[in-house]
Amino acid sequence: MKMGYAIIAFVVIIVLFNSLYVVDETKQAIITQFGKPVGDPVVTPGLKLKIPFVQKAHMFDRRFLEWDGNPNELPTRDKRFIWVNTYARWRITDPCCSSSGFATRREPRRASTTSSTARRATPSPSTTWSKWCGVPIGSPSRGN
Eight-state DSSP code of residue 144? -
The pTM of the full predicted model, rounded to 2 decimals, is: 0.58
Write the CB contacts of 114 (distance below 8 Å, at least 6 apart in sequence). Answer: 67, 69, 86, 87, 88
Please state the φ and ψ torsions of residue 4, each to the nearest 5 degrees: -65, -40
In order along its 144 residues, the chain shows pLDDT tens digits of 788 899 999 999 999 999 999 999 999 999 999 988 898 899 999 999 999 999 999 999 999 988 888 888 888 888 899 988 888 888 888 777 765 544 444 455 555 555 566 555 544 444 443 333 333 334 344 443
Pairing of strands 65-68, 87-90: antiparallel
Q: Is 29 exposed, middle or buried (0-12, 13-18, 19+ CB in 10 A)?
A: buried
Residue spans per domain, the chain: 1-61, 64-127
Q: Is 106 left (phi over 0), alpha (psi -120 to 50) or beta?
A: alpha
Write the CB contacts of 56 (distance below 8 Å, at least 6 apart in sequence). Answer: 31, 32, 33, 50
Q: Which of 51, 112, 121 is nearest to 84 (CA)?
A: 121
